[in-house]
Chains A and B, each alone.
Chain A
Amino acid sequence: MSNNNKKWFSLNLGRKEKTSSGSCSCGKTSGGCGSSSDSHHMTDEAFNEAAIHASIGEERTKDGFEQVFDVKMDRRSAFKKLTASLLIGAGAVSTSCSVISGDESKEKAQIDWEEQFKGNYKLMTDKEKEGTVDRLVRSYQLRTGKNISMSSKNAEEDVLFGYAFNISKCQGYMDCVNACVEENNQDRNSQMQYIRIHEMKDGKGFNFNEADDNYYHEVPAEGHFYMGTQCFHCDNPPCVEVCPVQATWREDDGLVVVDYDWCVGCRYCMAACPYDGRRFNWSKPEVPEAEINHNQHYLGNRMRKKGVMEKCTFCVQRSRAGKNPACVEACPTGARIFGNLLDPDSTIRWVLENKKVFRLKEDLGTEPKFWYFMD
């Protein structure tokens, strides 16, 4: 407990550290940078074992970003948190001077400190991006003993992602919804889902008001058709405009992403989105350890913490590697088409040029990169 409390405020004052990435890349942040690299006499394996035993204990069963960053606390320590700013100074000094706490908990403390005071991912150099990803991977390893792979792959040149949805084909099976949740490590408790499938009555047009997006009966239902919505990755995204801290932005390949660590949780973007594309972590997100997708991207499906926004990223961890998003892959009817809008030979381009396509709420000028079409 005391270890946990201290980790927020610790500075790196003469602590011996085993450098994992070679560089400490938080040059811009205010945290204690310039850690001395020194030889560490444990082997990696032994170190891991020790770290797990020493540091996590009962926390091992916990999930999500929570176990990485949040401090377990009772009501009394919650009050302490209220005056955290006053404690920072004292806490920092006490931890860094303490000789009792083990080396691994000091490493954790160091990582947490640097993570707390790192900059905005959007403005980071590639080296800094690698640095924070390394820290997050290491932190996860220290706390759970499990390895994850996290990518910080940037947008490729000459790529602009687009998506097309065939209304005639969708049968409403919702396989996409499940695949999305499994791929993107969404909170299981609140049953957060990025995708909504709207069951619409034939002959009523696209009447969302009367559509049901949470049906449970055999599908396709007689006299109905199905229309999926998710984040449309607008080219002129209102959510990005309104963010006060630029925690969300449009990448060069068209993906609208969120830096979960930079988000302050004001939910202005949520109010600004005309497409219900954004989700908020009202409480700490939890995913059973066995169900965690370990193939992660910093901007994609890595573990979130409570009080931050998240959204569909067209599975950035997959799409930037050349795979289709999980929803596209899971769709048994081929109603979902994904590809590079800049490639004249791509299938998505063929759809846009040869089918009668439309988008939702085009009059708002948001320029979604998500088209609907019919056979």
Chain B
Amino acid sequence: MLGYLLRRILAAIPVMGVVALFVFLLLRLTPGDPAAILAGDNATPEQLERIRTSLGLNEPIYIQFYTWIVKLLHGDLGVSLISNKPILEMIGPRLEPSISVALATIILSIVVAVPLGVIAAWKHGTWIDRFVMGLSVLGFSVPVFVIGYVLIQIFAINLHWVPVQGFRSISAGFGPFFERLILPTCTLSFIYVALIARMTRASMLDVLGEDYVRTARAKGIGETGVLLRHALRNAAVPVITVIGSGFALLISGVVVTESVFNLPGIGRLTVDAVLARDYPVIQAMILLTSGIYVAVNLLIDLAYTLLDPRIRY
């Protein structure tokens, strides 16, 4: 098991290397001169030249890459072209809101979607099944920001149950932190619930037709035991896969949600950096999200081996 973990981590290194190279080249080779953007429209050629030199933009591209990657390995993500602050310091305080929303969304989605999917499969073909699948279509088709504004209108503005927007750190107390997390989490969960519920239902339907489910029933085990112990555990692998690949969805959802609810998270930071062509920040953000994505996939692979003993590691 430990050997497998080590092998998988080693295998992730070249992946991250390719991501780094791709990210670096993509941004350097796109049109638009960062020095010109920094200096503004009225800058003289001398001013531009000075900025280029100070940022190393005049060096050959492979030297730029080398310097960048060496710094990266030392934990130096560079300095923002706009604010002149080290990027690490910019990201640090913004991780809490984003991670809080993302984690809360995953937990809420799984807790809601898996039972929905199981029930829909169990009551296959009945109105319950159709109702759950209808909800799922709704979750897929309504854009995240629309859901966000509708929820704000109902629960924050009309009912005054929760604050409209903003974020409080958990260090300021759990209550304020939690109540500001509710709406963003619910908003973001919609599409995720739709996805997971649909997959759980499909996977459960497959498994419920299996011989071992019939065996379990023939043993005189109650329906709950049949569904949870025998069917769900076998249906879990595709569901886990979807939860993992849905993570990409979550990352893009976080960006929109943070804008709607005015959360100071890394999604907003990314959008601002893209609009200002703040290369070092964009690079750092893409690397960060890729890194998270690779790590999540690693966790999913580990989960497979725990869930299904036939998958060898």
A and B, one complex? Answer: no
Which of B's residues lie within 8 Å of A, judged by CB? none
Which of A's residues lie within 8 Å of B, judged by CB? none
